[in-house]
Structure 1
Amino acid sequence: MPIVTLTSDFGLDSHYTAVIKGALQKRVEETHIVDISHRVRKFDAVEAAFILRSVYHEFPDGSIHLICVRSADTQESPHRLVRLDGHYFIGADTGIFRLLSEKQPDGVFDFSGLNLDVSAPTFPEREVFVPAAAHLARGGREDLIGRSIGELKEAQPRRLSFEDDTLVGHVVYIDDYGNVITNISRTAFEEFGRGRPFEIQLRTSRMSIRKVSEHYGDVEVGKEVAVFNFAGLLEIAMNNHSVPGDRGGADALLGLKRDQVVRIQFDSGNLL
């Protein structure tokens, strides 16, 4: 059974998600549709890319992923089908495809071959993405969707930097618990730190963490904790604590926001 996933900024109360699901299953009845998230911040392709990058590899090869964020077909962001890492991704090329993986795509296709009778679709997710996904779900070839092209729009993701004995990263995502996820990977932390004592510096010099724990519960309830999450990224959280009515947690209590700098200062000596 073909798998199609949906990632969008539609929200939870919108009927747009149901429209896409109905239109897809009308074309391919046996399709298994999975909601990844419909709570991406409005028009935020970077957040959509982070979410999809974190989960797509959990799905079987051949899965089809619809990216329903900033989906308008424009000269700056044309519709594309991208085959990457054994998966298919359909969306507007806002630069999002370059943020999904460090790997190079195996194929990039435009949509000229679909011959859609739509001059200016106001709902491209239904009128363009669904027919393309249905074609793939039925076992159709990519080159019948459109011609193969060699280019994707470049993107400028936040990258780690290194300043003497300091590893500098950024907050890239905040989940519904208020857990703050950075772009600092376990690999970068271990290779740069080499076993040295360290201090994770947050907002002010008075707010810091000097240990990476294995579990949230390794600290007292309500205390800040640093862990490496399932994706291998450094996460700052508060153990079993959230602020009612807020995304709250570490973000609210520690004053952390997306794109904010997170520094890890390592001791200049004591190399292992």
Structure 2
Amino acid sequence: MISRKLINLVYTQSIGLNIFPLRDFGSSVDQGTAKRLGRWSTRLYIGLLITGLAILALYNLVQPQSLTKTFNRPSFDLYHQLNEHYGDKLKCSCSLIASTYDQFVKIQPLFHEICSSPFASDQWRINLTAGLVPNLTEYEQRDYRRFLSAHLQFLTGLCQLSMNLQCSPLLCSYTYSQQFNLLYTITLLLGLQGGLTIVLKWICPKILQIVEKVYQHRKKRTNIVQPVSSLEITVADHIQTDIGNPTNGEQSTPMTKTSQYAVFLFI
């Protein structure tokens, strides 16, 4: 019993649902017509919205999604791991050269002989400056031992900077296809629902107004009004026909009187 009442209540509310105000139909439309058009526009809006979301959901279920995963400034160890795992699917853009990973590993940068030699290594600098006193101010201004450690550190930094600029990847990414992703589908539908709602709320009242105008125009054309002059001509023709063609009752009346007179004389 309660369920039936609930169903009737939901049905009644659904039939009378109107989400479009009177101003959507203009000031030239009366209030009753605007309410009726608003209810029909609401039904059209709900139907188109459900249909549109269903089509989008079905398309996402059938069509696989292409997803891209990105790694910003990966290390060489991570790069080698990704290259072994994903192979040709992995793409990398260097800080100066954009190339795929299979091309990237074939790049052989050429550096200055000093950068390629042990003189630019930290170990050689430490060994060379090991015999110097910690307080470099004890050396004279013109003594190169006072600046040797700083110059070697600067040289090592320049070599490392050129190597990193040429070889370290700036951005790495790989693309893969996924047949169904529930979270992606829900996110996409929620994103498209906002734009679809705005479009349907604008276009549904316009469609119903056009349909209403077409219906009223066709209704006026089907209501044919007969002119008064034709009625007068029809009545006049009918009277003339009656005068020219008397009925059988009028012809039998004189015959009846004559027969009665003959019978009276015979008696």
Pick the TM interval, shorter chain.
under 0.3
Which has the higher Rg, Structure 1 or Structure 2?
2
Higher helix proportion (structure 1 or 2): 2
TM-score (norm 2): 0.16
TM-score (norm 1): 0.16
Higher strand proportion (structure 1 or 2): 1
